[in-house]
Amino acid sequence: MTTHPQGIRIRHRGALPQVHPSAYVAPTATLVGDVRIGPRARVMYGAVLDAEGAFVEVGEATVVCENAVLRASAVAAEQPVTLADHVCVGPHATLLGCTVRRCAYLATSASVLQEARVGAGTVVAVSALVHARTVLPDEFFVPPHCLAVGDPVRIFAPGDPAVPQAIAELGFAGVAFGIDAALTDRLARYERIAEVRVREFGAHLDDLRER
């Protein structure tokens, strides 16, 4: 692995992004910290890959399209973003601390949250959401604008009245932010979440842009 001259590369927490010589990173894509771009991978314009305290790994011939966000974390636990070979990540997709197996297709504006696992050959269609800790089997299909929750996975259409309870059962605040799920005071909960992010993102004060 060598450092590629393209893209905006930020040294974060002492780690410098590494890009395989056969990969392409667009000039306006941003790689932050321990980001590892594999052979023949393509990271397109405006994409942001941010390792935070963990790492982001992009496999061979995997494509990350325009304005996608891949962000790892180590707040609640080590939550890297790992994409296997031949994965397609569509424009404006958001992947947070998740694992995506080979040949998966994540369409435009799809979202996959912390500790979720997307199986090989699986499709997450346009604007669908795979919630935290959800496990999608190989060659599964999440329809457009739908919500996938749990293991075994359940699919909810927009407006389904069962959605709030299904999400509550995940303990999302604990998974994503290390916040006690029993905390019911919403103002206190979101204040703590903001403080968690302030501390986590404060590490960027020491970032260095590589030339």
- Reported as a single tens digit per residue, the pLDDT across 162-201 is 999 998 888 899 999 998 766 778 888 889 999 999 999 9
pTM, 2 dp: 0.94
* pLDDT above 80 (res 2): no
- CA atoms of 31 and 42, how far apart (whole Å): 13
Q: Which amino acid is at 60?
A: E
| Helix residue ranges, H only, 85-181 | 163-168, 172-177
Q: What is the pLDDT of residue 41?
A: 98
> Which of 62-66, 88-92, 168-172, 204-208 has the weakest average pLDDT?
168-172
Taking Cα atoms as reference points, which of 43, 175, 32 lies closest to residue 113? 175
- CA atoms of 36 and 109, how far apart (whole Å): 23
* pLDDT above 60 (res 103): yes
Instruction: Give me the half-sphere count of Cα atoms (radius 13 Å) on the Cβ side of residue 146.
Output: 14
| Sheet with 147-149, edge to edge strand ranges | 154-156, 147-149, 129-130, 111-112, 94-96, 69-71, 48-50, 30-32, 8-11, 208-210
Q: What is the pLDDT of residue 179?
A: 87
